[in-house]
Amino acid sequence: MLILTCPNCGVAADETELGSGGEAHLTRFGAGSSDADFENYLFMRKNARGVHFERWRHSYGCGKWFHAARCTTTLEVFGTYPAQTTEPPAELIEKIKQKRPDFEGFSK
């Protein structure tokens, strides 16, 4: 069972309490953007095999959104952090790099 600690309320919630929101830190494109940008924003995903940054919602808890860094091949959770950011915190990246020397860091 996947367990993530919600940074908003501090509860260690298991996945039945959570809703997955998919890849995090997408750059939004709306009306007036090019077709390619819009397609990229709506459909194209990194679908990383390894370190993945994603959005989660503590649906059956505090109800708030947050971010998590997780490995999609081992399900190891590296950490969670608040939703009010456009990229993962530097100390979390550092922590992941120590565990996964071949991790190249976050890129958009």
Partner 1 sequence: MRRYSAFAIAREAARYHTGWERAWASPEPKSEYDVIIVGAGGHGLATAYYLGKNFGITNVAIIEKGWLGGGNTGRNTTIIRSNYLQDPSAAIYEKARSLYETMSQDLNYNVMFSPRGVMMLAQTEHEIRGYQRTAHANALQGVATEFIGPEKVKELCPIIELKGPRFPVLGALWQPRAGTARHDAVAWGYARACSDMGMHIIQKCEVTGVHQDNGKVTGVETTKGRIGCKKLGMVVAGNASALTDMAGFRIPLESVALQALVSEPIKPCMDVVVMANTVHGYLSQSDKGEMVIGGGTDGFNNYTQRGSFHHIEETVRALVETFPMISRLKMLRQWGGIVDVTGDRSPIIGKTPLGNTFINCGWGTGGFKAIPGSGWAFAETIAKGEPGELAAPFGMDRFIEGRFIDESVAAGVAH
Q: Which residues bind partner 1 (CB under 8 A)?
A: 1-2, 15-16, 19-20, 22-23, 35-36, 39-40, 42-49, 52, 54, 70, 72-75
Burial of 59 (0-12, 13-18, 19+ CB in 10 A): middle
Least distance to partner 1 from the beta carbon of 30, Å?
15
Q: Which is nearer to partner 1, 71 or 90 (CB)?
A: 71
Which one, 45 or 99, has the nearer CB to partner 1? 45
Q: Is 50 or 89 the residue whose CB approaches partner 1 more closely?
A: 50
Cα 62–Cα 27–Cα 42 angle in degrees, nearest 5: 90
Q: Give the list of residues 6+ apart from residue 91 with CB closer than 8 angstroms, or none.
A: none
